[in-house]
Amino acid sequence: TVFCSPPEFIKTLQDSGVDLVELTGNHNNDTGSQYNTETINKYHQLNIKTFGGGLNAEEAKKPYIADQKGSKITFLGYNYADSPSGISIATSERAGANSFDFDKVKTDIESAKQQSQFVIVDIQFNECFAYPDGYVEFPECNSPISGQQDVFRKVADLGADMVIGTQAHQPQIYEIYNNKPIYY
């Protein structure tokens, strides 16, 4: 599957008031990293902030820190599905997503906790496809898929205040784990 929108579609984001875009996607380099680079540059020109990806690996790992009424919230984003060396992962010379590694996540959360009151971690996990014919109350992908619950809970145990999956292609459940919301 290849996803690439015409450049003029960015007006939809502008008209919707989007001011922060998470870039952990595993399709961000489907049509070549040059288009991902152009898109990221366009976000920056329009003053749309980004996190979880960037023009290179150094930029991709930078958190986004929001100051909301005196409270600081740090957003961290990672691509689990393609880490460490898939085509969607940023390198020193290629735009892409921030790679996932538990040691890196732990260090990033610890650093964020020193600057912020609340840390949100977004994770592009493995995708799940279950589109049964007709109504099925609990299709396979509504629940965490293989390994997802363990990974997301471990990230919460590392100190994230909220964990959000960004890969599902359909709604998944959420849970409150040790008083922390996890949206699969």
Q: What is the pLDDT of residues 80-126, one digit of tens each?
A: 999 988 999 999 999 999 999 999 999 999 999 999 999 999 999 99
Q: What is the pLDDT of residue 62?
A: 98
Please compute the mean of the pLDDT values over residues 47-61 and round it to a whole number: 98
Residues whose CB is less than 8 angstroms from the CB of residue 103 and which lie 6 or more positions away in sequence, other chains included = none
Which ranges of the chain does DSSP label H, i.e. alpha helix?
10-16, 33-45, 57-60, 102-115, 148-157
The pTM score is 0.92
Q: Is residue 62 within 8 Å of residue 54, measured between CB atoms?
A: yes
CB hemisphere CA count around 17 (13 angstroms):
0
Q: Which tokens sit at 156?
A: 């919460």
1-13, pLDDT tens digit by residue?
A: 567 788 889 999 9
Give the helix, strand, coil percentages of the chain, each rounded to 5.
30, 25, 45
- pLDDT per residue over 120-178, tens digit each? 999 999 988 776 777 666 667 888 988 999 999 999 999 999 999 998 777 789 999 99
- Structure tokens belonging to residue 44: 């920056």
- The SS3 of residue 151 is helix
Give the whole-angstrom CA distance, residue 18 versus residue 12. 9
Backbone dihedral region for residue 180 (phi beyond 0: left; psi -120 to 50: alpha; all else: beta): beta
Q: Helix 148-157 to helix 102-115 angle, to the nearest 10 degrees?
A: 40
